[in-house]
Amino acid sequence: MPSENHYPNRLGIRGWLFGGNFGFERYLYALHRLTGLGILAYFLLHIVVTSSRALGPEAWRSAMGMVEGPLFKVGEYLVFAAFAFHGLNGIRLILLELGIAVGRPIEPVYPYRTSVHVQRPLAVVVMLLAAAVAVLGGFNLFG
């Protein structure tokens, strides 16, 4: 959440991509951003292209004719796979935000234990689900 009182972002864009010692979830965070940006770029164009349906069947077929071909098909699949990841990972993030699947609070006794290990199974399950949906979508489009 942005705040007026935050520290300056010294790493900039590099800071988004390099997970360092933060582990698997940190890379999911980077991928969540990347897929979000891709989906947004596609979505803004999608609004304009699909608006042609308001003008009737000829306008619709003409608009669809402009976005067919192998390059668009691959792009369409990438958007589908990005959505599978972004949507399912987003549901995981909402669950974590609500305090679900993070474990019970424990005493901070040395050696300290982080809640990341409690969260990890959810992340793994969500990634497996996203991969399964992406594969299904691939068979649907290219099969």
- Residues near other proteins (CB under 8 A) are 1-3, 6, 8-9, 12-13, 33, 36-37, 39-40, 43-44, 47-48, 50-57, 60-61, 64, 76, 80, 83-84, 87, 90-91, 94, 97, 136-137, 139-141, 143
Least distance from other proteins to the Cβ atom of residue 79, Å? 9
Least distance from other proteins to the Cβ atom of residue 27, Å? 17
Q: Which token pair is 93? A: 């993030």
Quick one: which of 104, 109, 134 has its CA closest to 119? Answer: 104
Q: At what angle do helices 24-50 and 70-97 cross, to 10 degrees?
A: 130
Least distance from other proteins to the Cβ atom of residue 74, Å? 14
Cα–Cα distance for residue pair 33/11, rounded to 1 Å: 16
Q: Which token pair is 19? A: 């997970």
C-beta of 54 vs 109, nearer to other proteins = 54
